[in-house]
Structure 1
Amino acid sequence: MDPKNPPKDNKAKGWFCTWPQCKITKEDALDMLMPLGLDEYVIAEEEHADGSPHLHAFLKLNKKVRWSARRFDLGDCHGDYRPAKSWRAVQEYCMKDGCYISNIDLKAARQKQSKMKKEDLLKDPEELMDSGKLNPMQLCSFLKNSAAYKMLLQQKRKPPVEMPEKKRHFWIWGPSNTGKTTWLREKMQEGEWFQMPTNNDWNGYSGEDNLYIDEYKGQLTIQELNRICDGGAKVNTKGGTAMLSWIPTVYVLSNFSPSQCYGRCNDALLETLLNRFQVGKMEEFAKPNFGYEKNN
């Protein structure tokens, strides 16, 4: 590195160092560098194409330091010192020939890095942007990758040994402007929610447990609605399929009761739906009256 032209990013914790034509052993080099405050290191001996010995090193210090032409000199052996732009890439470069000493378990570091990426995909993107881990320009890509990863996890889940109460779903009905949507929005303050489609296109679904549909008029068959309520069903997405949560809770908001939506169905089929739903009538922003399963 030309002392008259120091690197633009001249303050760093991680450094890539090269000492050409240096006969100092990697072990002796470590002894000479330790007083600088090393947290992590990879120091490698390498034979250059002309047969001369070289040393390469990745050095992570315990604090950021400014670039100095002589900071990492090994006695009279002067080298080239640059901030390491990619710590992992520099570590792997120094390890490539196998003749190195290090206090870094690169395999474990890779696994940790991979785990952190997976954990990040499950986090709130707003939280990641606030912490500086996610650039707003990356948001669309993050949301797509997050949805794909959540769906992968969902597909690997096994059904619970003990299934939840069968009659756990809610059918809230009543005239317009009686507070059905307001009631639902209060529920939506907790948990993750997904709006059920009526065209069999579940694009964007990523394993949410709470499913809802508003202004429902019986667009789905009873058989399909029952299948969704029972969980674990495969549904269509653009270019593929998705798997529903094993333990969904379905919320149906409608101006009509189940029997009004499915007036042409026989009683036995309608009963299968009522076995899954708590049916409540909403009147003038009061709490739903759950006494209409049989009579409406």
Structure 2
Amino acid sequence: MMPNNGDPMKQLFDWAVANSSPELLRSQAAHHQQQGTTLSLTPQQREVLEYIASQMKGNDPFTVMKKAYEVLQNTNSSMDETLEAMETIDDITSKIDYAIDFHKMGGTEYVFEHFLARSHPDPRADDPEIVLSALQLLCTCLHNNPKVQVEDLYQVRFFAYLEDQLKHYNKQSKALLKKLGTAFVALSSNQPKTLEKFAHHHVIESITNILHFENDENILSKFMMSLLSFMFADHKTAILGSELEHCWTKQEHSLKSFVETAITDFERMDLMEKTALFLKECARYPNTSFSFVAEAREILEKGIAFIKSNASQEDKEQLLPYFEIDNKLH
């Protein structure tokens, strides 16, 4: 019972807060069911509880995601409505269970077919922001999510889309190139078979070409992260090593020439760090017959000497841990 003194609206608010817990409501319902009694509510109290229940039901992530998906499916939705819906779904699917739910309801396929592959006429796909948001959403659903990664939608169709975009890198916007770098990391994370496929299709060579073509540090860091993710695979196949060796030693735009320059560029600290990590993984490669294994170690040692001679004390403290060669290296 609410006390009779004080502001009635304040009393109603306090009562609503006190009775809005789902656990408390279930407990009260069980008690009255056991006692054979009912909970007496005033009309105002009943209205407040019904409102709370409706809000709780309407705001659970799955329901919100379904409503946002309906916006995507409506080709009459405006660009702003579509972007907002994609952002909402992207936020919710950052939790893997919801990413799987979105995939099961056909959401990932719809996003790919309508906004990227353009298998179905949809005027919204002409907007570059829509394309970027669609790519970001699929990356979120993919990352460290093997149940979704192994689907043909991604391993065949999405891979073919990314491969085609990568081959025409000189025609892509900087924003799209960044997203492509993210997409390759998302698709390959914890997927050895995907990494082998990347090697067979010379994706690493395309990435190496981009590293020499671009000047934007964010783009370079994204694609260096892609290469780094390839090296984190537990099972490093012969084809992966052969593709790396080819890119490392080729006469023009070699991977070796890029990393040698990148690790001495204090203007691009983030790229220096990622490049050093990539070199350390190269030096750890189990097949030591590849030239990049020994040469990666040599480049790291030169990088350490360069930093010690030329970097400020603050930069030394930041950079050297990325370069230091531990005893796991060959």
What TM-score, normalized to structure 1?
0.29
Structure with a larger share of its residues in strand: 1
Structure with a larger share of its residues in helix: 2
Which structure has the greater CA radius of gyration? Answer: 1
Structure with more relative contact order (C-alpha pairs < 8 Å, separation 6 or more): 1
What TM-score, normalized to structure 2?
0.27
